[in-house]
Structure 1
Amino acid sequence: MEAQLLVKIIHMSAAGLAIVAILARAMTLFIGTQGNLPNPVARKPLVALQHLAMAVIALTGIIALFLKNFEVQPWFYAKVILFLVLISSLGKAYKKDDSILLVQRRAGLVIAVISLIAIIALVIIKPTFG
């Protein structure tokens, strides 16, 4: 199997895993919350799953860039920015700080889900800018 195709399959599998992890972890902001903190049940496995998926996505993305000699389409830059927004908003939503209100955590989750949907739309549509 060609290296580029293998990296792409791993990248897409990790993206699917990230979607599952984000949705599973989102439930902790709605069911069994404790004060302003998410539900602590299964916290460690969900955090590990999410971190693993995001790390594999970033690593395989960098490898794919290298294999393509850094030749990318213009929409790729929007995808990278949306990925950074996704990581940042998930960090805000699940930060271990009791002063962050539950509504702020849920807003961070909504922003993360919107950026995830936008990333998926960019990959499917592959728009041409200009």
Structure 2
Amino acid sequence: MMRMPIFAVTLAIAGMAHAGHDDAFIDRKDAATVDGRTIFTHLCQACHMADGKGATGAGAYPALAGNPKLLAPLYPAAMVMNGRGAMPGFGQMFSDEQIASVVNYVRTHLGNHYPDTLSAADVKALRPPEKP
């Protein structure tokens, strides 16, 4: 039985769950340098919509705009990293800095005005400890 690396599985799931995302963005060799706004624009808004108000249709994609669950920055960080329901986790795809950046972007845009920020160290603390 052939096993796919977790990164490939994550991308495959992301492709299924986020039909309409920007394949060229995912395939870019320099994707590691992108910021939160760019991540939101090329991946997140495909389901959550450009205005962050979410969508319903083949699935239900929650609104990020005015979402009180964003009050605690670790909640959206855990969602981005691990996924839930139809949302795949992107923890293997993005660095701690990028996850913090996209969470901070969503929490300070789309009509949200949460003043505290998430750091890369906060995100790193959510990851399982590295094996020696």
TM-score, scaled relative to structure 1: 0.33
The answer to which structure has the higher strand fraction is: 2
TM-score, scaled relative to structure 2: 0.32
Q: Which has more radius of gyration?
A: 1
